[in-house]
Structure 1
Amino acid sequence: VYAAPYIGFALSVDQDQFLSMAKVRALRKLWARIQEACSIPASTANVHAETSYRMMAMADPETNILRTTIAAFAAATGGADSVSILPHTIAHGLPAGFARRVARNAQLILA
């Protein structure tokens, strides 16, 4: 019995769309190579992506909506199994209900 099928990975994705897509795809390829090198039966990696806190701007939080949407799209097209979108006002502290709703609705629209 191997632990490999139960291992999950979490990645941070940002507004650099192609780099974020490549990051998710590279993780999957790297995991497959590690399993091959260790002679472990192949299993898919469970990849969770979260939008990066570091890319959030305090000066203009509305642009963060675009940033998080691009990051979520990149994670999904890169092959992430699950995606979490941070609210656009997270840089200002605890986000309001509207910011949480926008983040949740962005996931629904992209799905």
Structure 2
Amino acid sequence: MPKLVLGFILLFTFIGTSVFGAELYTREQEPELYCLAENIYWESHPDNHAGRAAVADVVLNRVEDSRFPNTICEVVKQGLLKESWRTKGKKVPDEERVFTPIRNM
């Protein structure tokens, strides 16, 4: 039993540092993840978990659909809409503000 508990502790420590660590949450190292997080931030801010998940679901479904571009950044940047956050000159928030809600999903 103690080995099992230790295994879970190590697993969650690894997941926490590799997925939620600052080294992965930068524009330069993970541009696709950053595009998704930034889109979730603007499209669903300050919605609840379900609103953020819905925005992510739409983007990821479009990536898988042959009628849309095949990367997250291309989907997010495709076709500027009049009411899009991308056309309103929104100031790009710092990475911590973008990723904090996503970490809590």
TM surpasses 0.5: no
TM-score normalised over the length of structure 2: 0.29
Higher strand share goes to which structure?
Answer: 1
Higher helix share goes to which structure?
Answer: 2
TM-score normalised over the length of structure 1: 0.28
